[in-house]
Chains A and B, each alone.
Chain A
Amino acid sequence: MNDSMFSVLEQYIASRILKQPNRKINPTESIISSGLIDSFSLVDLALFVEDTFGVRIDDSELNAQTFDTLTQLASLIETRQNK
């Protein structure tokens, strides 16, 4: 996975969603099914990804089946960027 993409996502989640700026997020740590990111913040994450990486994430994709880790989210973004 692209390191800068990972750190941008990690930083956003830690500082804006979790309000724990020093919190490290493991690339394979589950972030949705674990309840780390609650449903109210999912839309924020999607809006952030759209604005930052220029790809669309549909509301039907905001669930743990589509992505549950930063690795999965980053690969979703990369697939769309390469289209």
Chain B
Amino acid sequence: MTTFSERLESHLFRTPQRVAVYLQHSGQPDLPIAYRQLLRGANAYARTFAREKIQPGEVVILILQHGEDLIYSFWGAILHGAIPSIMPFLTEKLAPERYRADLAALISVTKPAAIVTYPEFETEVRGALKEGDSVRAVIVTDKLEPQSDADFNTLPGIQRSEHDIVLLQHSSGTTGLQKGVALSHRAVFNQLDSYSQALHLNDNDVIVSWLPLYHDMGLIAGFLLPILAGVPLVLSSPFDWVRAPYKLMQSVSQYKGTLSWLPNFSYNFCAQKIRDRYLEGVDLSSWRAVINCSEPVHWESHHAFYERFKLYGLKLETLQTSYAMAENVFGVTQSDLARPPKVEEIDREAFMTERVARAPVNGHPAMKMMSSGKPLSNTRIRILDEHGRDVPHRKIGEIALQSDCMLAGYYNRPDATKKAFYEGWYLTGDYGYISEGEVFVSGRKKDMIIVGGKNVYPQDLESLTYEVPGVHAGRSVAFGIFDEEAGTEDVVIIAEVDSKDRDEQEKIADLIRQHVTKNSAIALRYVKVVGPKWILKTSSGKTARSANKEKFLKELESQS
């Protein structure tokens, strides 16, 4: 067993000139960063943390955009033995007050000793600090110790034990107290070992990623896995990708990329929004796996992606699936890379009413389910009913798991950690079934919306809607509807107002759209403002999200 610092030391010793990361920025030439340079950059941060008297084992929050500083500060924290946690940067659509409030809430739970950010953003960060809180230093990127070669004899990071917490991943939630998933060195290496085995990771691999590092898929698969394993990483940003999705294909072609991870919506996005002119000369034949995870997986999305890019050398078996979550470091299952994931048709009615996945009876409506593959070699899965009992084969229940790479806990949240486990099994909150050893994920317990790979809680959006003048508390409902064209969910908000005037209602709809987006960074697809008594309530007066969703969908259908 080993620690992150020991692994880096071994790369530095054996292959100092080997490129760890090809860093991409729109409009700039790619920047190759070899291990020696990676550690020189990281050492500048490690020495800065020491200068600021940050102790090993203390948390350091990184509020930086895609770029060298984010990479160096992360590994600098590791070399210093501190615990890095990457936070999303403020985007232009999110209101700064909301960002500050979320940051203040995070600080109160996580108790970081330092925050790293840009000089331009320092005032913003200081605005979230309070007298007497845990933050002793706001470190700005232009006041660092100079870059220098790392001396592993004196770096505190090398003294860490494999059982120590190495990093925190913050699960997304739009508002309120976030949960920081705390992971040990050992848990991460156990995950990387079993996941690499499922991937048949080898010396010819090149990982191409644009995923954000504050999310588990980006941080683990698109950052730690390649850098710790010595596999080159071509790293771009979501900001650039969403404006120029073709660059993913060009990068795979240029660097002979072999592995990528994408959330389901991006299969549709790439298939629909890339012009032929950007694909001239592109060769995707080196791509051996593009792994769909972090959103429900849809066969139709794979199909559209394959049809669009097969002319450019894309192989059908390249399109794969995984079921993953930060609480298990990352991967829980992985489909077999040798063949396309299993797709089966099940009877829709039996699925809805009997909670069982069975072949459709002649002529009955069917739904297509795509497998997420088998559990990793270190992970065991059970499917439980509401009483915590195992359900039979092909029956739908809650997915529970156990492994040697589970979270050490939600950081400083023993209450939340305790609630997440049942008799030593982690309860995922996702529904699914097992067939011939393969896991099919079919839905989720809570009314959570997953839009573009981001988890959104409807109650957060509803609370924001109540803040808009003209909308009364309890008279709004938010939910997601699956958008086949986009391959992800669209967010819908319905709000009841007293006014029956159409113009007045449109105005309020606008205000809701602006206010909710500004305070959650979630784009709303449908905002429907209606007169009194539109929203359906349960007998106890609660808003029934699924009933309102049905009603909305019916109205939408009758309009088109």
Question: Which A residues contact B (CB, under 8 angstroms)?
Answer: 18-20, 22-23, 32-36, 38-44, 47, 59-60, 62, 64
Contacts and interface: CB of A to CB of B under 8 A. Distances in A.
B523 A35 contact: yes
The 6 closest A-B pairs by CB, nearest first: A38-B523, A35-B93, A59-B244, A35-B517, A59-B243, A62-B243
B133 interface: no
B273 A47 contact: yes
A65 to B, nearest CB: 10
A40 B514 contact: no
Nearest to A50: B275
B506 interface: yes
Nearest to B492: A19
A40 B523 contact: yes
Contacts of B517: 35-36, 38
A39 B92 CA distance: 11
Interface residues of B, number: 28
A36 B514 contact: yes
Interface string B56-96: 00000000000000000000000000000000000011000
Contacts of A60: 26-27, 243
B509 A43 contact: no
15 contacts: A18-B513, A19-B526, A22-B502, A23-B506, A32-B92, A33-B93, A34-B514, A35-B517, A39-B242, A40-B269, A40-B523, A42-B243, A47-B273, A59-B244, A60-B243
B27 A40 contact: no
A40 B243 contact: no
Contacts of B269: 40, 43
B173 interface: no
Contacts of A64: 92
Contacts of A32: 92
B310 interface: no
A43 B514 contact: no
Nearest to B515: A35
A20 B518 contact: no
A34 B524 CA distance: 13
Contact of B506 (A22, A40, A47): A22
B242 A43 contact: yes
Contacts of B472: none
Nearest to A21: B559
Contacts of A20: 506, 509, 527
Interface in B230-278: 239-240, 242-245, 269, 273, 275
Contacts, number: 56
B93 A38 contact: yes
Given A33-B92, A34-B93, 10 more contacts: A19-B525, A22-B506, A33-B93, A35-B523, A38-B523, A40-B452, A41-B523, A42-B243, A44-B273, A47-B273
A43 B510 CA distance: 22
Contact of A43 (B26, B273, B502): B273
Contacts of A40: 242, 269, 452, 486, 523
B465 to A, nearest CB: 15
Contacts of B513: 18, 36
A75 B136 CA distance: 50
A36 B510 CA distance: 9
Contacts of A44: 273
Contacts of B509: 20
Contacts of B93: 33-35, 38
Interface string B441-468: 0000000000010000000000000000
Interface in B517-560: 517-518, 521, 523, 525-527
Nearest to B242: A39
Given A19-B526, A44-B273, A47-B273, A39 B243 contact: yes
B464 to A, nearest CB: 13
A39 B93 CA distance: 10
B273 to A, nearest CB: 5
A19 B452 CA distance: 18
Contacts of A19: 525-526
Contact of B518 (A22, A23, A35): A35
Contacts of B486: 40
Nearest to B521: A35
A44 B523 CA distance: 15
Given A38-B523, A40-B523, A23 B510 contact: yes
B240 to A, nearest CB: 8
Contacts of B26: 59-60
